[in-house]
Amino acid sequence: MLSCKPSNHSSSSPFNKFPKSFSTIFPSGASAFTTYASISASLMLLRSIFNDLIPYPLRKHIFSAVSSLFCFFSGKQTIIIDQFDGIEPNHVFNATELYLSTKVNPNTKRLKVSKRIKDKGLSFKLDKGQRITDSFNGVELKWRHVCYEVEIKGNVTEKRYFMLRFKKNNGDLVMNSYLPFVLKSAEMIENEMRVLKIHTLGNVRSGFKFKWESIKLEHPSTFETLALDPELKTMIIDDINRFIRRKEFYKKVGRSWKRGYLLYGPPGTGKSSLVAAMANYLKFDIYDLQLENIKSDSDLRRLLLDIRNRSILVIEDIDCTVNLPDRGHRRNGQDKQLTLSGLLNFVDGLWSSCGDERIIVLTTNHKHRLDPALLRPGRMDLHIHLSYCGMHAFTVLAANYLGIKGEHRLFGEIEVFLGATKVTPAQVAEELMKDEDVDVAVEGFLSFLKQRKMEEDKLEKDEALKKVEHKESRELKIEHTYLKKDEALKKAEVKESRELKIEHKYLKDETSKKAEVKESQE
């Protein structure tokens, strides 16, 4: 009969082949975490010591050597595209960033997304450290966006570059076909997505240089809507067109391909609107430079290198923006301050040749306050005087603001008053905006002109009266001076006469005494 009792020989069970406790072979969860934390802390400490003891240039060479060694054995080749080539922006970097923005896909782990108010769609860019794979003629190309920070003399600067990796046997294809394809594609993308921008200086400095910050330029001003004399408008357009088509001519005569314009006249005469019209006409970006933010000539040079071609550099109200030291009064360490010489070299010197197809515009309300050295040809090639509103400018403004395409019954009277008063286009525009009804707006503007004429006449009479009073005052002073001189002369004559009489009496008495003495002796 079989027994159902449990066997006393437990060693016969297959599970008895393992130890009673797994801890003798596998550590517990807490122990594994402790070991991992210890190893991580050690690695971080070693990394910190490595970064502190070995300067960044040497670390870069070490990493580059290790990477090159790895690539040598792996059969890969790497191309590095830095953001800057020395102190000048690297065009290949900008083209690569634009090209890769069209290659992002949902599989990319981290992207930067943006959209301006009037943009039709979203804009995507690779974020720091992200990778993307491209294909060209059946060849796989791997990109990576690398960013890191470098501290130089207490200033932390962000460095960026793109790293491209591919098989060595495809090197000729990449360098002679693929990279030129990236540059050409970026140019086509930029032309399709071309959005005019206005650039200004950021509020903070990045390392040793200011950074340009931009926003979409949406100024509606065009030459068609600009309230300018037709002859002046035609002259400006012809001059711009001549400049744009003469690239080879500038190269032939040995001059930088740039053009300088000085816009001067009373406030409100349309200087800023003319700059915007030029930008819209040429499809050029605007760089608005405020000199009061620039501390030295070296800062000015760095900013020039960051300005792209096909752009308009504007320095508004240059007569009152900043007081520049005279060229003859430069102190020691002049590179640490902004000087007139630095500005002149910026406008028309060796540094001005670092770029093509640029327009420099200076504006001022007081041309006579500017240094003549800033105004000579080659620096400011064309001086454009923007004056008060005339009849033609008024008709343009009336068409823009009120939709008047032809004549109006009050235009004749308005023309008479415009010729006799000083009114800027900005003042005209403000008056025309006061009512949507055409007749009411035109009548209101005519009343404004009449009132303005009365005020100017009164002011002119007051000025004339002041001149007359000043003249009379001067004449009275002169007359008073002459009277004082006459009185002084009379007093002198009376005094002299009295002295002569006294002297005559004294002589007479002496003569009488001598006669008496002589008679007594006889």
* Inter-residue contact 342 to 299 (CB < 8 Å): no
How would you classify the pairing of strands 123-126 and 111-114?
antiparallel
Q: What is the pLDDT along the chain (522 residues), one digit of tens a residue?
A: 334 444 444 444 444 444 444 445 445 556 666 776 677 777 777 766 766 666 655 665 566 566 656 555 667 889 999 988 877 788 899 899 889 888 887 777 777 787 766 666 777 777 777 888 999 999 999 999 888 877 766 677 778 899 999 998 999 999 999 999 999 999 888 877 778 889 998 765 444 456 788 888 889 999 999 999 899 999 999 999 999 999 889 888 888 888 999 999 999 999 999 999 999 999 999 999 888 878 788 888 888 888 888 899 999 988 876 566 554 444 454 456 777 777 777 777 666 667 778 899 999 998 988 888 888 887 889 999 999 999 999 999 999 999 998 889 999 999 999 999 999 999 999 999 999 999 999 999 999 999 998 988 888 888 878 887 777 777 777 777 777 777 778 878 777 777 777 777 777 777 777 777 777 776
- Using only C-alpha atoms, the chain has a radius of gyration, in whole angstroms, of 43
* Inter-residue contact 239 to 250 (CB < 8 Å): no
Task: List the domain boundaries for the chain.
Answer: 74-193, 197-324+337-385, 408-480
* Inter-residue contact 293 to 321 (CB < 8 Å): no
Residue 73 in 3-state DSSP?
Answer: helix
What are the beta bridge partners of residue 210? 205
What secondary structure does DSSP assign to 409-448, as a single string?
TTHHHHHHHHHHS---HHHHHHHHTT-SSHHHHHHHHHHH
CATH number at 197-324+337-385: 3.40.50.300
* Inter-residue contact 262 to 367 (CB < 8 Å): yes
Q: Between the CA of residue 447 and those of 125, 431, 444, 454, 461, what are the distances in Å?
A: 57, 10, 5, 11, 21
Please state whether the predicted TM-score (pTM) of the whole model is above 0.75.
Answer: no
